[in-house]
C-alpha cells in the first residue's frame, strides 16, 4: 500500500521536470525568433535609412551640379568639389557618416552625368567632370550590416543603396510672327479676323466700332506677355500650384468675361491704351455666350510657374476666339476678309480665312513643342470672260457666232500647316558652362495649295469640288440659231502643290544670353526682342514668299477638257465638225485664266502674307523666341544599383 502511494506521489515530479524542459526549449525558440525578428527589422530600417541618405545626397548634389541655384551668395559656378561638399554636408546633417562614401561595384561614390532615354526608360549616363551637359548626380553608399543578436544567422554583410537625381528645367518659348510687317492696311484685315472670332454679329456697326485697332495698337497687344497666374485670375480660378495646369484647363469661362478679366489681371503691367483695347474687345464679345474651353490653349503647356509669361496677349486673344467658335473638330467656320473685288459683268472675288487650330506657345521640359496656327486661306472668284472667247471663237470658226456662257467659278485653297519649334536641350550655369543654354529646332510650315472649281455663290465660301467639275458652259449658235452646239469645259480634277519642309532642322545658334531675375526658385529671363535681337533670340529658319509662285505654277498641272456636242448640228444632221476646235478653245480658256491666277498670287504676296504673319503664321519659315528658363525642384529619378544583379541593377546607357 505504501509503495503504491509513493508511486502516485512521485509521478507529478517527473511530469513537472518534463514540462520545465519543454518550457526551456520553447523559450529558447521564442527568444531566437524574437531576436531574428529584431535583426530583420534592424536590417530593414538600416537599409531604408541608407536609401534615404542616398536620396537626400543625390537631390542635394543635383541642385549643385546643375548650377541653376548657384553656390553661395555670389552664385559661383558649380565644381566637383562643390558637389562633393554638398553631399558630405547633407549626409552628416542627417545622421550619416563619411565612411559610407565608398562606391558600389567599382562605381565611385559620387557620379556626375545626365539622364538619357533608352527604349522609353530614362538611364543615367556618366559624363566627365567638366562636361557642360551635366544635370544629374548619382550617389552610391555602403555601410556594414547592423551587428546581429544571433551571429550565426546574419551579420558580416554590406548594405548598398544608390539614388540618382536630376535638376529639371522648364523652358518657355513661342513660335510665330514678328509683326514688323504690320501696317495700316494689314491691321484692317486683322480687325476683320477679330470681328469674325469675337463678335456675335460680325460686320455690324456695333462690332465695327468696338474693333477698330491700329497697327500700333496690335503691336501693343503683341508686346504684352501673359503668365499662367494672370490667365487664372482672369478666369476666376484659384490654385495653389499652377505648375499643374489641370485646374485651369478644365475651365470654360464666357469669352467677354475672360477678356474683361484679363484687363484687370494684367493691371499696371499694361498701358492705359492696351487696357482700353481689352475692354473694347470684351464689349464686342458681350453678346457671344459661347464658353471658352481652355484645354486646347494649354495643350503645349506641360509645367510652368504661375508668374512665368508663356504667351503674348494678341496670340491669346486669337486663341480664345478660336476656342469660343470651334466646331467639334476644332475648326472655325471661314471668316470673310475685307479683300473682296466686285466689278459688274467682269469679276467677283471673295477671300476667307479658316482657322483649323490656334497657335500654341510652350512651357515644359526638353522635348516640348510650340506650333503656329493652322489656317486655310480661301479665294473664290466668279469670272465673266465672254468677250475674249467671243473673239477667239470668231477667228476659229471664220463666221459669226453667238456665245452664251455661265461665269467661270474658280477657287484656290491655301492650307498652311503649323510650323513647329521643339525645345531640344537646356542647361543652366554649371560645370563648364557659365550661362544657361537653350537649343531648339524647327519644322517649317508646309503649305498645300489647291486649285479647283466650286458650286454656288462665291460669297458663301463654298468648298472646292473634289471630282471633275464644270469650269465653263458654252452654247454656240451659228446662222441665227440654224446650227447649234453645246460644249462644257471641265477642270479634270482639283490640282494641288506643296511648299515647305516637314523635317526638323536645328537653329544655327543656341540661345545663351539670360539674366537671373529670381533666386528661389531660380528664374532666368532670355534676352532679345523682335526689335532688338540678341545672339540668336529671336531666330528664323527657312525662306518666305513661296506662295505666289506656287499658285501660278498650278497652271502647269491644270488640265481643261471639253465635253458635249462635237458638231454644229442642223436638226439631227452634223453640218460642221468642231471636235478639232475644242482643244484650242480649252487652251485659250487656260491662257485667259493665267493672268487671273498670277494676279491672285500677287495679291497673296502684297496683302495676305503679312496678314498671316500677323496671326503668327509663316509659310516655309519658323521664327522662335525664347522667353525664360526656370529651375524646378530636384527630383529623385531612380534607385537602381549600378552593376547590380537582376531587376535591382541599373540599365546600361546606350
Residue bearing cell 521643339: 422
Same domain, 123 and 211: no
Report d(CA 471, CA 488) in Å as an integer: 8
Average of per-residue pLDDT across 325-351: 74
Nearest Cα neighbor of 186 from 614, 579, 593 is 614
Same domain, 486 and 567: yes
Looking at mean pLDDT, say which of 269-273, 478-482, 587-591 comes out highest.
269-273
Q: Which of 114, 148, 168 is the last residue of a domain?
A: 168
Same domain, 490 and 451: yes
The confidence score (pLDDT) of residue 94 equals: 93
Same domain, 204 and 113: no
What residue numbers bound the domain in which 124 lies? 2-168
Q: Does a structural domain hold residue 253?
A: yes
The confidence score (pLDDT) of residue 182 equals: 47
With 0.75 as the threshold, say if the pTM is over it.
Answer: no
Helix (H, G, I), strand (E, B) or coil at 134: coil
Structure-model confidence comparison of residues 7 and 354, the more confident one: 354
Same domain, 96 and 234: no
The confidence score (pLDDT) of residue 524 equals: 86
Average of per-residue pLDDT across 174-184: 53
pLDDT band at 291 (very low <50, low <70, confident <90, very high): confident
Same domain, 304 and 320: yes
Q: Does a structural domain hold residue 644?
A: no
Task: For residue range 586-618, list pLDDT tens digits in order.
Answer: 777 667 666 655 555 555 555 556 656 655 566
Task: For residue range 524-537, list pLDDT tens digits in order.
Answer: 889 887 767 888 88
Same domain, 194 and 141: no
Report d(CA 2, CA 470) in Å as an integer: 137
Nearest Cα neighbor of 651 from 138, 160, 65 is 138
pLDDT band at 71 (very low <50, low <70, confident <90, very high): very low
Q: Does a structural domain hold residue 646?
A: no
Q: Which of 168, 197, 214 is the last residue of a domain?
A: 168
Average of per-residue pLDDT across 186-204: 79
Beta carbons of 548 and 605 less than 8 angstroms apart: yes
pLDDT band at 139 (very low <50, low <70, confident <90, very high): very high
Same domain, 71 and 180: no
Report d(CA 335, CA 195) in Å as an integer: 9
Q: Cβ–Cβ contacts within 10 Å for residue 462, how many?
A: 17
Task: For residue range 549-569, list pLDDT tens digits in order.
Answer: 666 566 666 677 777 666 777
For residue 356, which phi and psi values (nearest 5 degrees)?
A: -80, -35
Structure-model confidence comparison of residues 115 and 203, the more confident one: 115
Nearest Cα neighbor of 50 from 118, 115, 104 is 104
Q: Does a structural domain hold residue 116?
A: yes
The confidence score (pLDDT) of residue 545 equals: 58
pLDDT band at 488 (very low <50, low <70, confident <90, very high): confident
Report d(CA 590, CA 592) in Å as an integer: 5
**Of 57-61, 113-117, 406-410, 498-502, the least confident:** 498-502
**Of 109-123, 159-173, 570-584, 625-639, the least confident:** 570-584
Average of per-residue pLDDT across 195-217: 79
Beta carbons of 136 and 109 less than 8 angstroms apart: no
Strand ranges inside 431-535, DSSP E: 437-443, 447-452, 469-478, 483-491, 495-499, 505-506, 514-519, 522-526
With a pLDDT cut of 90, the percent of the chain lying above it is 9
Task: Please count the structural domains in the chain.
Answer: 2
Q: Does a structural domain hold residue 257?
A: yes
Q: Does a structural domain hold residue 504?
A: no
Structure-model confidence comparison of residues 48 and 573, the more confident one: 48
Structure-model confidence comparison of residues 335 and 163, the more confident one: 163
The confidence score (pLDDT) of residue 76 equals: 43
pLDDT band at 494 (very low <50, low <70, confident <90, very high): low
For residue 343, which phi and psi values (nearest 5 degrees)?
A: -115, 110
Structure-model confidence comparison of residues 114 and 208, the more confident one: 114
Task: For residue range 231-246, list pLDDT tens digits in order.
Answer: 888 887 665 545 556 6
The confidence score (pLDDT) of residue 179 equals: 36
The confidence score (pLDDT) of residue 305 equals: 60
Same domain, 23 and 161: yes
Report d(CA 273, CA 271) in Å as an integer: 5
User: Over the chain, what is the mean pLDDT?
Assistant: 75
Please check the confidence at residue 296 and state whether its pLDDT lies above 80.
no
The DSSP string of 58-104 is HHHHHHHHT-SS-BTTTTBPP-HHHHHHHHHHHHHHTT--GGG---B
Please check the confidence at residue 140 and state whether its pLDDT lies above 90.
yes
pLDDT band at 416 (very low <50, low <70, confident <90, very high): confident
Count CA atoms closer than 13 A to 393's CA, side-chain side: 23
Q: Which of 153, 168, 183 is the last residue of a domain?
A: 168
Sign of CA dihedral 234, 235, 238, 241: negative
**Of 192-201, 417-426, 573-582, the least confident:** 573-582
The confidence score (pLDDT) of residue 137 equals: 92
User: CA–CA distance from 102 to each of 140, 141, 324, 387, 648 (Å)?
Assistant: 8, 6, 61, 95, 19
The confidence score (pLDDT) of residue 134 equals: 77
Average of per-residue pLDDT across 355-384: 80
Q: Does a structural domain hold residue 643?
A: no
Q: Does a structural domain hold residue 640?
A: no
Task: For residue range 115-132, list pLDDT tens digits in order.
Answer: 887 776 788 999 888 776
Looking at mean pLDDT, say which of 3-7, 186-190, 579-583 comes out highest.
186-190
The confidence score (pLDDT) of residue 642 equals: 92
Same domain, 159 and 221: no
Beta carbons of 445 and 415 less than 8 angstroms apart: no
C-alpha cell read off for 551: 499658285
In angstroms, how far is the first alpha carbon of the chain from the final one? 95
Helix (H, G, I), strand (E, B) or coil at 116: strand
Residues in Cβ contact with 599 at an 8 Å cutoff, skipping those fewer than 6 apart:
none
C-alpha cell read off for 607: 496683302
Beta carbons of 528 and 534 less than 8 angstroms apart: yes
Q: Which helix (H) or strand (E) holds 618?
A: none
pLDDT band at 434 (very low <50, low <70, confident <90, very high): low
Beta carbons of 526 and 537 less than 8 angstroms apart: yes
pLDDT band at 316 (very low <50, low <70, confident <90, very high): confident
Report d(CA 381, CA 339) in Å as an integer: 12
**Of 114-118, 161-165, 301-305, the least confident:** 301-305
Average of per-residue pLDDT across 277-302: 80
Same domain, 278 and 137: no
Average of per-residue pLDDT across 36-57: 83
With a pLDDT cut of 70, the percent of the chain lying above it is 64
Estimate to the nearest angstrom the gap between the alpha carbon of 616 and the chain centroid: 14
C-alpha cell read off for 142: 555602403
Please check the confidence at residue 142 and state whether its pLDDT lies above 90.
yes
Same domain, 149 and 247: no
Residues in Cβ contact with 487 at an 8 Å cutoff, skipping those fewer than 6 apart:
473, 474, 476, 562, 563, 564, 565, 578, 582, 585
Amino acid at each position: 500500500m505504501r509503495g503504491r502511494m509513493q508511486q502516485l506521489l512521485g509521478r507529478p515530479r517527473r511530469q513537472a521536470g518534463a514540462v520545465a524542459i519543454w518550457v526551456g526549449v520553447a523559450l529558447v525558440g521564442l527568444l531566437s525568433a524574437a531576436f531574428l525578428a529584431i535583426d530583420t527589422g534592424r536590417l530593414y530600417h538600416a537599409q531604408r535609412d541608407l536609401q534615404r541618405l542616398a536620396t537626400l545626397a543625390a537631390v542635394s548634389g543635383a541642385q549643385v551640379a546643375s548650377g541653376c541655384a548657384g553656390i553661395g551668395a555670389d552664385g559661383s559656378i558649380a565644381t566637383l568639389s562643390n558637389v562633393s561638399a554638398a553631399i558630405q554636408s547633407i549626409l552628416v546633417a542627417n545622421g550619416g557618416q563619411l565612411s559610407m562614401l565608398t562606391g558600389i561595384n567599382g562605381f565611385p561614390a559620387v557620379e556626375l552625368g545626365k539622364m538619357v532615354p533608352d527604349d522609353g526608360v530614362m538611364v543615367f549616363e556618366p559624363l566627365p567632370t567638366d562636361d557642360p551637359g551635366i544635370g544629374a548626380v548619382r550617389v552610391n553608399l555602403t555601410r556594414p550590416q547592423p551587428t546581429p543578436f544571433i551571429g550565426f544567422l546574419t551579420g558580416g554583410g554590406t548594405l548598398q543603396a544608390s539614388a540618382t537625381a536630376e535638376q529639371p528645367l522648364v523652358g518657355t518659348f513661342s513660335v510665330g510672327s514678328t509683326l514688323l510687317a504690320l501696317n495700316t492696311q494689314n491691321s484692317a484685315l486683322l480687325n476683320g479676323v477679330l470681328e469674325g472670332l469675337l463678335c456675335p454679329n460680325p460686320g455690324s456697326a456695333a462690332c465695327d466700332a468696338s474693333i477698330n485697332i491700329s497697327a500700333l495698337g496690335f503691336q501693343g497687344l503683341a508686346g504684352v506677355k501673359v503668365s499662367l497666374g494672370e490667365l487664372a485670375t482672369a478666369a476666376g480660378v484659384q490654385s495653389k500650384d499652377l505648375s499643374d495646369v489641370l485646374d485651369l484647363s478644365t475651365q470654360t469661362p464666357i469669352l467677354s468675361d475672360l477678356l474683361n478679366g484679363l484687363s484687370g489681371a494684367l493691371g499696371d503691367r499694361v498701358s492705359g491704351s492696351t487696357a482700353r483695347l481689352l475692354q473694347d474687345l470684351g464689349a464686342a464679345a458681350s453678346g457671344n455666350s459661347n464658353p471658352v474651353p481652355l484645354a486646347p490653349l494649354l495643350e503645349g503647356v506641360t509645367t510652368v510657374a504661375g508668374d512665368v509669361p508663356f504667351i503674348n496677349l494678341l496670340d491669346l486673344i486669337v486663341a480664345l476666339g478660336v476656342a469660343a467658335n470651334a466646331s467639334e473638330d476644332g475648326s472655325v467656320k471661314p471668316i470673310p476678309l475685307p479683300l473682296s473685288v466686285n466689278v459688274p459683268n467682269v469679276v467677283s472675288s471673295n477671300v476667307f480665312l479658316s482657322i483649323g487650330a490656334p497657335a500654341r506657345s510652350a512651357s515644359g521640359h526638353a522635348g516640348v513643342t510650340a506650333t503656329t496656327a493652322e489656317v486655310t486661306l480661301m479665294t473664290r472668284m466668279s469670272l465673266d470672260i465672254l468677250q475674249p472667247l467671243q473673239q477667239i471663237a470668231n477667228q476659229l470658226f471664220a463666221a459669226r457666232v453667238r456665245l452664251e456662257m455661265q461665269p467661270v467659278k474658280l477657287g484656290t485653297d491655301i492650307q498652311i500647316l503649323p510650323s513647329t519649334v521643339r525645345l531640344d536641350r537646356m542647361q543652366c550655369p554649371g560645370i563648364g558652362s557659365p550661362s544657361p543654354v537653350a537649343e531648339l529646332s524647327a519644322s517649317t510650315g508646309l503649305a498645300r495649295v489647291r486649285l479647283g472649281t466650286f458650286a454656288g455663290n462665291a460669297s458663301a465660301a463654298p468648298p472646292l469640288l473634289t471630282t471633275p467639275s464644270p469650269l465653263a458652259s458654252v452654247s454656240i449658235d451659228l446662222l441665227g440659231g440654224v446650227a447649234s452646239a453645246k460644249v462644257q469645259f471641265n477642270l479634270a480634277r482639283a490640282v494641288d502643290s506643296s511648299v515647305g519642309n516637314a523635317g526638323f532642322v536645328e537653329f544655327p545658334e543656341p540661345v545663351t544670353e539670360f539674366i537671373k531675375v529670381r533666386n528661389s526658385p531660380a528664374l532666368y529671363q532670355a534676352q532679345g526682342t523682335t526689335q532688338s535681337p540678341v545672339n540668336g533670340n529671336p531666330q528664323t529658319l527657312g525662306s518666305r514668299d513661296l506662295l505666289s509662285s506656287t499658285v501660278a505654277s498650278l497652271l502647269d498641272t491644270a488640265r481643261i477638257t471639253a465635253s458635249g456636242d462635237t458638231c454644229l448640228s442642223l436638226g439631227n444632221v452634223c453640218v460642221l465638225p468642231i471636235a478639232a476646235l475644242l482643244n484650242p478653245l480649252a487652251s485659250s480658256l487656260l491662257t485667259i485664266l493665267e493672268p487671273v491666277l498670277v494676279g491672285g498670287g500677287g495679291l497673296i504676296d502684297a496683302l495676305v502674307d503679312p496678314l498671316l504673319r500677323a496671326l503668327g503664321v509663316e509659310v516655309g519659315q519658323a521664327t522662335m523666341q525664347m522667353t525664360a528658363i526656370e529651375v524646378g525642384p530636384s527630383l529623385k529619378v531612380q534607385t537602381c544599383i549600378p552593376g547590380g544583379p537582376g531587376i535591382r541593377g541599373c540599365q546600361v546607357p546606350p
